[in-house]
Amino acid sequence: MVLTEDVYTPGEYWLELTSLTGTKAVALNTVQVEVQADRLVCFGDNHNDLPMFEIADVSLAVANATPKVRRAAAATIGGNAAEGVAEWLALNTQPGS
């Protein structure tokens, strides 16, 4: 259980209830094994992305991420409003890859 202030709406809070196995990290690890991916690049902006960052080969925070997420990331890219993830993917992936 986690109670945290919303990144995008200061003053509003989210209460998240989940199983320890119900994380983005567990889900991504399952997908990575299933598709036999040799590299995992993750993008995040909030506390629930931190476990995912721990298993990623590359962890990237968007500019509007919480300070803790930006500190945990390998790098910070453009924010959500600037389409930072799409821009990063366009510059760092090949068609068909």
Domain ranges of the chain: 2-92
For residue 96, the model assigns a pLDDT of 61
| CATH superfamily for domain 2-92 | HAD superfamily/HAD-like (3.40.50.1000)
Under a CB-based contact definition with an 8 Å cutoff, are residues 80 and 64 in contact? yes
pTM score > 0.85 for this model?
Answer: no
Residue pLDDT tens, the chain, 97 long: 778 888 778 899 988 787 778 888 999 999 999 999 999 999 999 988 999 999 999 999 999 999 999 999 999 999 988 999 999 999 998 766 5
For residue 22, the model assigns a pLDDT of 81
User: Which run of H or of E encompasses 71?
Assistant: helix 67-72
